[in-house]
Structure 1
Amino acid sequence: MQIHKEGKKIIPVAFFFLAVIDALIYFTLRDYLIFYFLMAGSLFLATLIVFFFRVPQREIEKNDQHILAPADGEIVEIFKVYEKEYFKDERLQVSIFMSVFNVHQNRAPVGGEVSYKHHKRGAYYPAFVKKSSEKNERCSTVFKMNNGTEVMARQIAGTVAQRIVTYKQPGDIVEQGQEYGFIRFGSRVDLFLPVDADVHVKMHQKTVGGKTVIASLK
């Protein structure tokens, strides 16, 4: 299993603190039954941290007519909305909630040039609620296809997620399905699509980043 580069920064630090805590537990509670539960909990947490930063190998089927899921997770919103940050017109919003058990690598929904990127500080409401899209810390990235069509993917921090990473900058060229960002520990990604896009997903459907077709362009 491949570990994401963000994990290579976090895992050694997390394991150091877990080792210190385990040592304290061993020397103070090893004669008590609770010792075994705490050690089992520590092992579970260590496994979860490694599992969180996994990077699956996926074959991406590129298609200029398809908008692919930017993240693994669950569809929690599908509706029309006035997008006021960049487009300043009506768009179709499709939102994907990512739990701590999902892969947190974010992938470009379409191929093309990054035409806009803006990171904004904010609150940390639970990522599955609607107001998190407007109130939480977020980073909006717009991908402009060769035919001029633009699609926005907005990474949104949640209650636990305190770190949004976006690797691409305006002017960069990305391939469909290519990694462009990462969010640590539970969050969501909102897609803003042309209103005439044909949506293929439904509420509470599970998505696979770079594989699930969210919508088709006309």
Structure 2
Amino acid sequence: MKPSRSILHLRKLTKPSLLKRSQPQPRTMKSPPRKQLLTIPPPRSPPKNPTPSQPPRLTGVMMSTLGPNENREAGAMSLLAPGGKTPVYATAMMGIATLCVAVFVHPLGHLVTLVGVLLLVLSTFLANFFRDPDRVIPRDEGVLVSSADGHVMFVVRERAIGRRPSKAETESGEMESDEHTGEWLAKALDAPLSFTTEQRWERVPAGEEGADDVWRIAVFMSPLDVHVNRAPLASTITHMEHRTGKGCRSGPFRPAFRKESEFNERVRTVFSANGKGGHRKGMDIEVTQISGALARTIVPWSQIGMDLRRGQRYGMIRLGSRVDTRAPAARFTPVVVGAEAKDEDFPKGEYVYAGKTILFSSSRSE
């Protein structure tokens, strides 16, 4: 006998799954999510002895191939030298705004467009002039690096034959006066290699070399070169002296590529070695920043008593200019070629880079 429909419907209602679904579920209040503290694991140190299957980790963003005697200067690359951002960005924004006026407002023929293009060209020139690239600094012992970018004008051996008079010597009338270079005392310093004041120099004839001679290397910087100057060695600045073109008075401004420009407006800086880099502590190097006929602005970023690393930036000269470096001839040998040598490989003189190119190598161990 078949079961009736009512009995079959009752069996379906009494199934465990249906009974479970039909039972009301108690409501529960959801608690807000608990805040979790973010923990950053400490950086893993690279293995001391990496194996071929486990290469050392690179720490840092900048990667380059450096030689055993090279060292990249600390800090990130500076795009523009101090004082360069305002003129570069201002002329660029003015050029863009002028072009927008020419395109969207009223062209006024092609005059406004021409002005905008000229402003952008000027901004590009200023950016090229104020550029301040990173440099790979040599780590060789006992060397002096270039303080400027440019062509080497000449390499000459000199000796001191005079100096600037003191105030008492000026009042006593012991000095002699030169029309173009100012007042001098016809006597060198007792210690010429201390460079405590500006001295008068002359070339040393062959066979008359002395213990107090110096090597002078002059580097000419054109308006297209980098104009940031760098320290030739790890040192402390002991003297800084500014002169305005003719002794202590204003005078002529000759083009920087002429040798006579050494008496233009200039800043003379004496670097005293701090004992690092293979140099005897207390040895002095003189670097003179000389302005040209176009550029008459020397911008020092350092001051007396400041410690500098080899190749560290310490100032700049705006537009075309020149930098002279004097080093004791008894301790150093020049390793670059000047234009005066008339070398076929370097007709304009060897091109050097500030903080990177070695100008002098040590001729004796310290």
TM norm. shorter chain > 0.5: yes
Measure, in 1, the Cα distance between the counterparts of 2:319 and 2:352.
17
Whole-angstrom CA distance in 2 between matches of 1:172 and 1:109: 14
The correspondence for 1:116, drawn from 211, 221, 239, is 239
Does residue 152 in structure 1 map to residue 282 in structure 2? no
Q: From 108, 115, 130, give the equivalent of 1:53.
A: 130
Asked if the contact 1:64–1:110 (Cα under 8 Å) also holds between the matched residues in 2, the reply is: no
Q: CA deviation at 1:39?
A: 5.3
Residues 1:210 and 2:355 aligned together: yes
Cross-structure match for 1:73: 150
When the two structures are superposed, what TM-score results if normalisation uses the length of structure 1?
A: 0.85
CA contact (8 A) 2:80 2:130 kept: yes
**Contact 1:91–1:193 (Cα < 8 Å) also in 2:** yes
**What code does the residue aligned with 1:126 have?**
P
Residue among 83, 95, 99 paired with 1:6: 83
Higher relative contact order (CA 8 A, sep 6+): 1
- Residue in 1 aligned with 2:220? 97
Q: Partners in 2 of 1:109 and 1:138 — Cα distance?
A: 18
**Which residue is 1:140 aligned to?**
268
> Following the alignment from structure 1 to structure 2, what is the Cα–Cα distance between the partners of residues 4 and 28?
37
List gaps (5 residues or longer) in structure 1: none
Deviation at 1:63, TM superposition (A): 3.4
Secondary structure of 1:131's partner? helix
Q: Which residue number corresponds to residue 179 of structure 1?
A: 313
Tell me how far 1:124 sits from its aligned partner.
Answer: 2.1
CA RMSD of aligned residues (A): 2.8
Letter in 2 for 1:45: L
* 1:82-138 deviation line (CA, Å, top 9, x unaligned): 35553655321100000111111100011111111101112321111111112x000
Structure 1, 201-210 or 38-47: larger mean CA deviation:
38-47
Partner secondary structure for residue 216 of structure 2: strand
| Structure of greater Rg | 2
Q: Secondary structure at the match of 1:79?
A: strand
What residue is the counterpart of 1:161 in the other structure? 295
Kindly state the Cα deviation for residue 59 of structure 1 after the two structures are TM-superposed.
2.2
How far apart, in 2, do the equivalents of 1:72 and 1:94 lie? 13
Q: Which runs of 5+ in 2 are unaligned?
A: 1-77, 164-194, 200-211, 246-251, 339-348
Against the structure 1 CA distance between its residues 207 and 28, is the aligned structure 2 distance closer, same or farther, given a 3 Å change threshold? farther
Give the secondary-structure state (helix, strand or coil) at the position aligned to 1:93. Answer: strand
Preserved CA contact (<8 Å) 1:64 1:111: no
Cα distance in structure 2, aligned partners of 1:96 and 1:63: 22
User: Is 174-183 or 192-201 further displaced after alignment?
Assistant: 192-201
Name the structure where strand makes up a greater proportion of residues: 1
- Residues 138 and 156 of structure 1 are in contact (CA less than 8 Å); yes or no, is this contact kept in structure 2? yes
